[in-house]
Amino acid sequence: MTRTIKLAVIPGDGIGPEVIAEANRVLDAVLDGSDVALERTEFKLGADRFLETGETLPEIEQAAIAEHDAILFGAVGGVPGDPRLAGANIERGLLLKLRFDFDHYANVRPCTLFPGVESTLREPGTVDFVVVREGTEGPYAGNGGRLRSGTMAEVATEVSVNTALGIERVVRYAFETAQHRERRKLTWVHKTNVLVHSGATWQRIVEAVAVEYPEIAVDYLHVDAATIAMVQDPGRFDVIVTDNLFGDILTDLAGAIGGGIGLAASGNINPDGAFPSMFEPVHGSAPDIAGKQQADPTAAILSAAIMLDHLSLTAAAERVRDAVRADLAGRGAERRSTAEIGDRIIAHLSV
Amino acid sequence: MTRTIKLAVIPGDGIGPEVIAEANRVLDAVLDGSDVALERTEFKLGADRFLETGETLPEIEQAAIAEHDAILFGAVGGVPGDPRLAGANIERGLLLKLRFDFDHYANVRPCTLFPGVESTLREPGTVDFVVVREGTEGPYAGNGGRLRSGTMAEVATEVSVNTALGIERVVRYAFETAQHRERRKLTWVHKTNVLVHSGATWQRIVEAVAVEYPEIAVDYLHVDAATIAMVQDPGRFDVIVTDNLFGDILTDLAGAIGGGIGLAASGNINPDGAFPSMFEPVHGSAPDIAGKQQADPTAAILSAAIMLDHLSLTAAAERVRDAVRADLAGRGAERRSTAEIGDRIIAHLSV
Ligand SMILES: CC(C)[C@H](C(=O)O)[C@@H](O)C(=O)O
Ligand SMILES: CC(C)[C@H](C(=O)O)[C@@H](O)C(=O)O
């Protein structure tokens, strides 16, 4: 009996379509001959779509996407400074809207320095941690506004909204993640000495949940100190849990030290299953190299692997990761096109 | 005729007193035989003082500090998790209170990788930039609160308050800084695609001030991308201007790639001169190594050099920096005590 998985694909802008094409080829290859069939629907959304139709995420399309089992997302965003995009905010109107409306509260971003990959660090040591970034609140809430706009008396506010509900569920998810890893270590990151209100809520909840996980070693770092630790001693991290903004910053840094943002994968997970989870490379649309087959599709392919995990296709996920690992081990300084990298990873799949 | 400079000294906690002792010795040595006399008043403030007297920053002492020409600040903070400090917030009540009340709106943090110093990066290249961090508003405003505290319905907010006045003056300060440097480049950092309200205010003001500085090349990076740039291509930066929280994060990262936080100096500048400016190493009080003569006083000494600059004692400032440079060039992996490092830097002064 065939299991059919309904996959919504949002290639997006810039290099998005190129890297998603490779992720799709890898998915087809790894599921070839299995009892799993992918039924894809492509949604043309992003800056290009906005420029053509003025639409960012029509309700009817959002409803259609919601009917799928998972979402594979490329990257969105037009050329920086394009005046035609001045009024638009594709990031808030599309990417963050999906994360918020589909309650992707666990934004999972692994960071592994694979053998053969050169880190930007002199002595990286073993790098193998995962950041669980809160995905649905905090400074990303979108609250705030501007008063006396355009004058010298202008005041702009941004309200970070943090709820016990929102923090508790992502902290619990992070503890569960740590529970299933070898080192069983959790580092929570905040700025409790300055952001005292939300810091106190985070601290109370981490301490409360920690009681339920006595096997897990818990420590805390201020976000500024966490960046130092990440570049001086990344091996100290196992699972990191943090808020939406700190997670955004730390995972780009993690991408850089883990071999570059071209390898950084992520899953926007709705663990409750009420909405489809969404899988996307951490990188952006990089319009400067779009269409040139220069983008590295590895981050998109590894994101597809996280998707396979999420769909309980664990063996397939492992095969993809093994193929990526094999490819990376032999890549060296060779320059290959986006499709050539896809080819090579697919070739390693069949071994 | 002797010029007398009234210096308020706040050694603080942990390694603060040790590193400030060396900075004071270097100041005495470099000003020895000059027509400048330092008149010091020491203020015992910080976690230790709080534990002894329950006081953080009594009004009368703050008023006394305000009467000085400059402040030399060590580091504050007790042992993490000390239950006797649970109710206190020395950071907000002392350090941030001084920054806010004394209107230290330009928090200046240079990052130079000196010859002979090993970076955590594999190929750092030339690292020589300065971060101008806003110091009096943004997410540090302290606005916000908690509702239904201690329950599962708890909501905690943090309000980032950003004013045209506050942004304009620090942006202008950064442009002036860039104007006096060779490369004349300014990178402003924010997260405009998510923090759209404050992002729009920042953007409007940067663009308006930029018109007055046509020689300066201006570019923009999202804060997440800025962390990548900092570890992959730090040479791209000349002057960075950013808000209080992003500046906090980026300057710790900068410290790490610039040879370690033991070398990172800063000035909390009130350019209007209405209040004394304050000079402090970026590092914390490190209670774990306090009193052991293990701390590197270089950051405190370089902070004293920034103070000399600020007091228009430019030649003395340069002599201190040259002495530090000479010492660092020959330091190698040798382990020296806090005082030995001070000795060696002083020895290089007299050459
Ligand atoms: C594009 C942007 C809104 C997004 C974010 O800030 O979350 C990106 O930086 C990311 O990390 O996925
Ligand atoms: C101690 C803390 C309040 C302070 C800050 O966040 O500004 C420190 O991290 C710094 O960078 O000077």
Rounded CA separation A235/A128 (Å): 7
- Which residue, among B129, B133, B7, B75, has the nearest Cα to B296 in the 3D structure? B75
- Confirm or reject: Cβ of B101 under 6 Å from ligand 2: no
Query: What parts of chain B have a pLDDT lower than 70?
Result: 351
Rounded CA separation A23/A29 (Å): 10
Cα(A268) to ligand 1 centroid in Å equals 11
Q: Can you read off the two tokens belonging to residue B193?
A: 């695609």
**Contacts with B322 (C-beta within 8 Å, 6 or more apart), sequence order:** B348
Cα(B230) to ligand 2 centroid in Å equals 20
In this structure, the residue with its CA closest to atom 7 of ligand 2 is B248
- Which residue, among B310, B347, B283, B323, has the nearest Cα to B19 in the 3D structure? B283
Place of tokens 């590295």: A296
Cα(A24) to ligand 1 centroid in Å equals 22
Helix (H) or strand (E) holding B328: helix B314-331
Residues of chain B with C-beta less than 8 angstroms from the C-beta of A123: 120
CA B216 from centre of chain: 24
CB contact (8 A) between residue B156 and residue A191: no
Percent of chain A with pLDDT over 70: 100
Per DSSP, which regions of A164-228 are E strands? Answer: 185-190, 217-222
Q: Mind listing the pLDDT tens digit for each residue in A243-293?
A: 999 999 999 999 999 999 999 999 999 999 999 999 999 999 999 999 999
- Which residue, among A86, A46, A113, has the nearest Cα to A284 in the 3D structure? A46
Rounded CA separation A261/A285 (Å): 12
- Confirm or reject: Cβ of B132 under 6 Å from ligand 2: no
Ligand 1 atom closest to residue A92's alpha carbon, by position in its atom list: 3
Tell me the best of B194, B195, B223 to mutate to test the pocket of ligand 1, counting ligand atoms within 8 Å of each CB and taking the most. B194
Q: What are phi and psi of A169, to 5 degrees?
A: -70, -35
Percent of chain A with pLDDT over 90: 95
Q: What is the pLDDT of residue A144?
A: 97
- Which residue, among B15, B5, B76, B2, has the nearest Cα to B43 in the 3D structure? B76
Helix (H) or strand (E) holding B190: strand B185-190
Q: Can you read off the two tokens belonging to residue A154?
A: 């202008």
Q: What is the pLDDT of residue B81?
A: 81
Q: Mind listing the pLDDT tens digit for each residue in A51-65?
A: 999 999 999 999 999
- Confirm or reject: Cβ of A142 under 6 Å from ligand 1: no
Indicate whether A87 pLDDT > 90: no
- Which residue, among B59, B38, B107, has the nearest Cα to B277 in the 3D structure? B107
Catalytically active residues of A are 140, 191, 224, 248, 252
Of A80, A118, A157, the CB nearest to B197: A157
Count H helices, E strands: chain B? Answer: 12, 12
Cβ-based neighbour number of residue A86 at 10 Å: 8
CB contacts < 8 A, A to B, total 198
User: Contact at 8 Å (CB) between B136 and B350?
Assistant: no
Grade residue A4 by pLDDT with cuts at 50, 70 and 90: very high
Q: Which of B128, B191, B243, B309 is catalytic?
A: B191
Q: What is the pLDDT of residue A26?
A: 98
Residues of chain B with C-beta less than 8 angstroms from the C-beta of A154: 163-164, 201
Rounded CA separation A62/A70 (Å): 13
Q: What is the pLDDT of residue A81?
A: 81
User: Contact at 8 Å (CB) between A111 and A130?
Assistant: yes
Place of tokens 């995972």: A251
Indicate whether A351 pLDDT > 70: no
CA A182 from centre of chain: 22
Per DSSP, which regions of A58-201 are E strands? Answer: 70-75, 106-112, 128-134, 138-147, 155-163, 185-190
- Judge whether B329 is closer than 8 Å to chain A, CB to CB: no
CA angle (A23 as vertex; A17, A26 as ends), nearest 5: 145
Cα(B196) to ligand 1 centroid in Å equals 13
Q: Can you read off the two tokens belonging to residue A343?
A: 């080819």
Rounded CA separation B218/B213 (Å): 10
pTM: 0.97
* CB proximity under 8 Å: B 135-194 to A: 139-140, 142, 144-146, 150-165, 168, 191, 193-194
- Which residue, among A124, A115, A127, has the nearest Cα to A325 in the 3D structure? A115
- Confirm or reject: Cβ of B71 under 6 Å from ligand 2: no
* CB proximity under 8 Å: A 239-258 to B: 245, 248-249, 251-253, 255-257
Cα(A326) to ligand 2 centroid in Å equals 43
In chain A, the residue whose alpha carbon lies closest to the alpha carbon of B146 is: A197
- Confirm or reject: Cβ of B194 under 6 Å from ligand 1: yes
- Judge whether B232 is closer than 8 Å to chain A, CB to CB: yes
What chain A holds in terms of domains, given with CATH numbers, is 1-110+261-351 (3.40.718.10), 119-126+162-258 (3.40.50.2300)
Q: Mind listing the pLDDT tens digit for each residue in A120-171?
A: 999 999 999 999 999 999 999 999 999 999 999 999 999 999 999 999 999 9
Rounded CA separation B204/A25 (Å): 44
User: How near does any CA of chain A get to the CA of B213, in Å?
Assistant: 19
Q: What is the pLDDT of residue A99?
A: 98
Q: What are phi and psi of A131, to 5 degrees?
A: -100, 125
Pick the more confident residue, B94 or A334.
B94
CB contact (8 A) between residue B198 and residue A156: yes
